Structure 1
C-alpha cells in the first residue's frame, strides 16, 4: 500500500488587489500544488474589486451610485451581503460607520480623483442622511434602490470582506489553518502546525517608521486596524486623516491615532474599526462593550501612547496582549 507523506510544506502566496496586496500563509502536505489555489485566490479578490471598487466606473457599486433615485438596480450576491453588513453596522454604530460618504471621499482626494475645493465645499455644506435611511435592499430579488441622492463608498469594509473571501476559497482547497491578509486586515484560521496560534503585530501608529506596539496571538479570529498614520492629505501644517466624519462630510478633526478591532470576520472588524475611529475612545469603548467587541484604542500623549481597552480579550491581558481568541458561534 502506498503511504502518503505527512510532512507539511509552508506556502506563502500573494498578489495585487485594491491598491494593496493580498497574502496567504499556510501549510499543506507534501505534493500539494499551490498554483491552482493562487489563481483562485486572485480571482476571488478581483471579483470583490470588480463589484465594489469606486475606481472602476463599471463596478456594480458604481452602477448603483449612477442609478436614479427610486429605480431598482440589480446587485451581485456578494455585493448584497456587504451592503447588508455595512448598513447593519451603520445602524448599530449610531451612524458612525456610514457608507454614504462617497462624495466626501472623492472631494478630499482619497478616491480616484484629485482634491477638488468646489466639491469639498459642497460635501461640507450638504445635508446628510445616513445610508441606512436612504438605501433599500431587496435581498430576495438581489436588487437595491436609493430614496434620494447618495454616493456609496465601501473602502471601510471591502478589504475586510476580501480577506474573508480568501479564507473561504482556501477552505475549498482543503486549507484548514492559515493567515490571510489584505493590507492591514488579517484573519487567522486554526493553528500553526506546532499547535500554537498565529502571531500578528499591532502596529505602532507612527508616520515615519513601521514598528510593533504589541503582539496578538490569534486562533479563528480576524483583526483590523484603522489609523491616521498611513493615508492622509496635507492641509498646511496639518495632516488630515482619510477617515471621513459622516456628520460633516470631511476628514475627522480629532480621532484616535489608531483603533484595532478583533471579530469573527474580517468584514466586521474592518467596518467597526472605521466606526470607532469616528466615535473616539470614550464613546467608542462604551459602544464596543455594548456590542461585545474586543477593541484597543491608541492615542498620542506627547511622545507616548495612551491605551483605552474594551472587551474581555484586551481588558484582561498584559500589555503584550498575547492571547488566543476563539469566537463563540
Structure 2
C-alpha cells in the first residue's frame, strides 16, 4: 500500500478502538475494498522513443490496471530494444553491424526477425526491379543519411561510383536464421523497412494478450485493428506536403491494416544552395530529383507497406503508380506540378477514403 493508504488505515484503527468491535468489522471491510483494490481503465496509451523516432500506442476497450499497463509498457520497450539490437546500423554490436563488418561469410547466425526482414526486402527488391535495395547503405552513408555525419561537400562522381560498386543485393542470401554474402564489402541498411517490422511486432504482441482494438504508431508507420475509444474505426490523417505546417490532406479509415507514409518534403538537408532528399535512387546513386513528394501505402503488414513506400519514392510517380496498380496495391501519392501539389492513387486505395 502507499503511505497515504497506510495512514488512512491507522486512523481507522484508532477510531475503532474508541467506537467498538461492530464498527471495526465494517470499517475494516471498507478499507479493504476502497484502499487495496486497483481500478481498471478501459483505454490505455503507451509512449516512448525508438529507432530515432517516437512511438505512440493506444489500446481501447481492454480494461487494464496501472500495474498491468506498466508491465505491458515494459514489454513493449523490451521488444523494441531487441529490434534495435538486431537491426540498427547505429549500434556497433547489433546483428546487422557485425554482419556488415564481417568478410564474405556463409551462414552468419542472426535472429529469425532479422532474417525475415531481409527475406521480405529481397522480395520487394525483385518486384520493384531494384528500386528497393537494402544494400544501398554505402550510398546512404555517403550522402549523410546514415550513422555518418553530413558531408561538407557534395560527393564526387568517383565517390558515388565507388559506393555503387558495393551496392549488390544479388550477393546476399538468407535462411530462416542466417545471412550469407559472397563479397567482403556488402553492407546492409534496413532503415527503409525496420520501423514497419517494429509496428508489426508490437501489434502481434498486443493481439497475443487478447487485445483486439489498438493502433500502433512508430514514426510514420502505423498499424491498426478494431475500433477506437469512440467506438468507430481508427481515423488516420494523411498530411499535406508542406515543410512549414502540419495540415490534413485526407482522412482515411484503414480498418485492420497498416498505413505507412514516406516523404521527401521534410527529411532533407541543404548544402551549397542545393537540396538533397533522403531517398536515394539505386540507379543513379544520388538523391531523387523527381516531382514525387509523398507516398502512402495501406497493407496488412506494416513491414511490407514500409518497403513499398520507400521503393515507390525512389521510382517516382509514373513508374510507381503503374506498378502499384498492376500489383493491386493500395497506394496514394502527392506530387508537385508547377507551384501546386496534386494527388494520384490506385483503385485499391479508394475504399479507404473517409466520406
Instruction: State the TM-score, normalizing by the size of structure 2.
Output: 0.82
- The structural deviation recorded for 1:253 is 2.2
Instruction: Report the equivalent of 2:51.
Output: 18
- More displaced, 98-107 or 191-200? 191-200
Aligned-partner SS, 1:283: helix
Query: Structure 1 residues 152, 34: closer, same or farther in 2, change over 3 A?
Result: same
Question: How far, CA to CA, are the matches of 1:44 and 1:104 in structure 2?
Answer: 29
Instruction: Report the equivalent of 1:35.
Output: 70
Question: How far, CA to CA, are the matches of 2:194 and 2:113 in structure 1?
Answer: 11
More strand by share: 1
- The structural deviation recorded for 1:230 is 1.9
Aligned-partner SS, 1:245: coil
- The structural deviation recorded for 1:10 is 1.7
Question: How far, CA to CA, are the matches of 1:123 and 1:161 in structure 2?
Answer: 32
Aligned-partner SS, 1:160: helix
Among 233, 238, 241, the residue aligned to 1:202: 238
Instruction: State the TM-score, normalizing by the size of structure 1.
Output: 0.89
Unaligned runs of 5+ in 2: 1-39
Instruction: Report the equivalent of 1:57.
Output: 92
- More displaced, 287-296 or 21-30? 21-30
Q: Which runs of 4+ in 1 moved over 6 A?
A: none
Question: How far, CA to CA, are the matches of 1:130 and 1:105 in structure 2?
Answer: 11
Larger relative contact order (CA 8 Å, sep ≥ 6): 1
Q: Deviations over 1:176-215 (max 9, x none)?
A: 1111110111011122355421001111111111111111
1:181-196 equivalent positions in 2, closer than 5 A: 181-196=217-232
Instruction: Report the equivalent of 1:136.
Output: 173
Unaligned runs of 5+ in 1: 1-6, 324-329
Question: How far, CA to CA, are the matches of 2:255 and 2:128 in structure 1?
Answer: 26
1:222-237 equivalent positions in 2, closer than 5 A: 222-237=258-273
- The structural deviation recorded for 1:30 is 3.7
- The structural deviation recorded for 1:147 is 2.0
Superposition CA RMSD, Å: 2.2
Query: Structure 1 residues 266, 176: closer, same or farther in 2, change over 3 A?
Result: same
Larger Rg: 2
Q: Is the 8 A contact 1:123 1:250 kept in 2?
A: no
- More displaced, 115-124 or 83-92? 115-124
- The structural deviation recorded for 1:8 is 6.4
User: Does residue 1:251 correspond to 2:251, yes or no?
Assistant: no
Aligned-partner SS, 1:244: coil
Question: How far, CA to CA, are the matches of 1:115 and 1:130 in structure 2?
Answer: 20
- More displaced, 65-74 or 89-98? 65-74
Question: How far, CA to CA, are the matches of 1:255 and 1:61 in structure 2?
Answer: 33
Instruction: Report the equivalent of 1:73.
Output: 108
User: Does residue 1:90 correspond to 2:125, yes or no?
Assistant: yes
- More displaced, 305-314 or 203-212? 305-314
Aligned residues: 312
Instruction: Report the equivalent of 1:3.
Output: none
Question: How far, CA to CA, are the matches of 2:218 and 2:322 in structure 1?
Answer: 29
Aligned-partner SS, 1:34: helix
Query: Structure 1 residues 31, 285: closer, same or farther in 2, change over 3 A?
Result: closer
Q: Is the 8 A contact 2:43 2:63 kept in 1?
A: no
More helix by share: 2
User: Does residue 1:300 correspond to 2:333, yes or no?
Assistant: no
Instruction: Report the equivalent of 1:218.
Output: 254
